Chains A and B, each alone.
Chain A
Amino acid sequence: MRGRALLAVAVALVVLAVALTRLSANQYYYFAAYVIFQYVVLATAWNILGGYTGYVNFGSAGFFALGAYTAAILIKAFQVPFPVLLLAASTVGGLLGLSLGYLTLRLRGVFFSIATLALAVVLQTLIVNWEYAGGSRGIYTMRPAEVLFFGNYVEFLFVVMLILALGALATARWIEHSWLGRGLAAIRDNEEAAECMGVPTLRLKLVAATVSGALMGIAGAPFPYYVTYMEPASTFNLDYAVNSLAMPMIGGATTWVGPLLGAVLLGTAQQIATVTISSALNLLIVGVVLVAFVILAPDGIIGLVRRRRGGRHA
């Protein structure tokens, strides 16, 4: 699809979402849709570094929680307006991605992955020890009593997260079709060869790590208002780390459509499963499906579809 057509679809979606909030539907649907949109942002963000560049980030939960805590603390300290929260959370997330990348992306890819694994544990330690941020007891955030135009705050957050998801997808699609995306793909396919051809590999990897971190941070920014009570154990939950890499891997990690597909499928399935079966069991299913996909369908659902089509032509 052309860019302009996609833009029209995106605008139509936002208009539709705003119209939906006019129908006073069950609040649960807004809550559920918010979670799915949030996963679209996280999965897309992960994919910019993981899928396009081939560097695996296991610390998505840390980036997400950092964004959420940045917002919660700014609200507590200064009653900061909403757009500033988004800006601050994405800045902090981007800086974290940049600095972690600067320390480890010069080495073999596994070291970056290992550092991100440990990162979430350390950030959680910092928050647990920080009295002002609520420590392990958690922190309460009051939603503003009124919000312009929308009937209530959850409906507002639902539309905000939709816009963030569309923004993340647009960013990913732009990267994919630009010089940046081609450079990243060259790194993924053969980093040494790319380096020899004059691709500034370290700089491109740092850009990808920064953009990815910023998007993960921004995904966390509305979280304090969404839950109103945050505590470290659930904000740093492994679910975020697993889902934000499982969704692109299952959807297909080489294009922006993959994370979207994975997030919508897995996110919806999990929303239904958490209601009907236990949430632990549904995470077990995600784990098993993830392992099955990396072994049997390395290019995800998109790869399967392409293979099918290719087979028919042959």
Chain B
Amino acid sequence: MFSFDLLLDAIVAGILVGGFYAAVSLGITLAFGLLNVVNIAHPAFVILGSYAAFVVNSGFGLDPILAGLLFMPVFFLLGIGVYRIYYASFEKRGEESLRGLVFFFGIIFIIEVSLSLQYGVDYRSVHAAYIGDSLRLGPIDLAFRLAIPCAMALVLTLALHLFLSRTFYGRAVKAVSQDHLALRLMGADPVRIKGLAFGIAIATASLAGALLIMIGPVEPSIGREYIGRVFAIAVLGGMGSIGGTLVAALILGVLESLTSTFYGPSWAPAVSFGILLLVLAVRPSGLFGRAG
């Protein structure tokens, strides 16, 4: 049964969720696209962010978004620490492909099992006065639990874009992705720059995690569903392009929303995999990457 209202609702919900997907994928775009560190554990860090927000929200009644922002420095340092280990154990020896992947896979596992040992496998959620509300704009219903994460995700995307294009360190991050050696010749330390950028990538997971648990309840293994999504978005967005990530995230969000409205929500996880395979097979450089 087709109805225009249903279609409109699905598209609006898709755009809102897609905006949030951008927040989850920025860390992958940064780490995988620009630094060439295949951090498959990124969604697990996002779930860690969700639980951090859950703990301070349920313990002290702190607003989840504020919690997400507060934990960003902690996640930043965590990211730098993880990169140091990764660099010393794999990148320096040129063994990042096989063992580096297994290393991050092990991290997913450690985070997931630790969380389920500590907090159980039940779904957890956060509370804030505005989460249940919604704003009515003509025929469109904007639920705050989707609209606020989307807005925050757009702010995060813009901030990261400005950082990469306007600041000294941001340009250094772009430089390290283009030419390691040249950066070293200019007197900058590529390892330090990469550590900093990886720290920022993990810091975005803190906020993205807080947004995730606002949208819906979270349990430790939910991150697995996001692995396909974030890589589909990063590849479709052209690997390392912030604007491309946002557009790809919106496309995926809308496609998933249409799929779950018209075919049932249980089919939604298959959409990202379909996109990922299609892009890899047809145009591996993504929508916005250089061809070839």
Determine whether the beta carbon of A118 is less than 8 Å from that of B113: no
Chain B residue contacts of A291, Cβ below 8 A: 103, 106-107, 110
Interface residue tally for chain B (C-beta within 8 Å)? 44
Chain A residue contacts of B107, Cβ below 8 A: 291
Chain B residue contacts of A79, Cβ below 8 A: none
Determine whether the beta carbon of B113 is less than 8 Å from that of A280: yes
Does A153 touch B at the CB level, under 8 Å? Answer: no
A220-258 contact mask (Cβ, 8 Å, vs B): 1 or 0: 000000000000000000100010011001000000000
Chain A residue contacts of B225, Cβ below 8 A: 121
Docked complex: A26-60 residues within 8 A CB-CB of B = 50, 54, 56, 58
Name which of A10-18, A83-91, A103-111, A144-152 contacts chain B. A103-111
B226-252 contact mask (Cβ, 8 Å, vs A): 1 or 0: 011001100100000000000000000
Chain A residue contacts of B272, Cβ below 8 A: 118
State in angstroms the CA–CA spacing of A286 and B102 once bound together.
13
User: Whose C-beta in chain A lies nearest to the C-beta of B106?
Assistant: A291
Docked complex: B93-108 residues within 8 A CB-CB of A = 95, 97-99, 101-103, 105-107
Does B163 touch A at the CB level, under 8 Å? Answer: no
Determine whether the beta carbon of B99 is less than 8 Å from that of A294: yes
Does A268 touch B at the CB level, under 8 Å? Answer: no
Does B116 touch A at the CB level, under 8 Å? Answer: yes
**Interface SS majority for chain A:** helix
State in angstroms the CA–CA spacing of A286 and B107 once bound together.
11
Chain A residue contacts of B110, Cβ below 8 A: 284, 287-288, 291
- Contact-size category for A: 35 or more
Determine whether the beta carbon of B109 is less than 8 Å from that of A56: no
State in angstroms the CA–CA spacing of A117 and B112 once bound together.
16
> What residues of chain B have their CB less than 8 Å away from a CB belonging to chain A?
32, 38, 40, 85, 89-90, 95, 97-99, 101-103, 105-107, 109-110, 112-114, 116-117, 221, 224-225, 227-228, 231-232, 235, 264, 266-267, 269-270, 272-274, 276-277, 280-281, 284
Cross-chain pairs A/B with CB under 8 angstroms, 5 sampled: A110-B38, A117-B227, A118-B228, A118-B232, A121-B224
> What residues of chain A have their CB less than 8 Å away from a CB belonging to chain B?
50, 54, 56, 58, 103-104, 107, 109-111, 113-115, 117-119, 121-122, 124-126, 128-129, 238, 242, 245-246, 249, 278, 280-281, 283-284, 286-288, 290-291, 294-295, 298
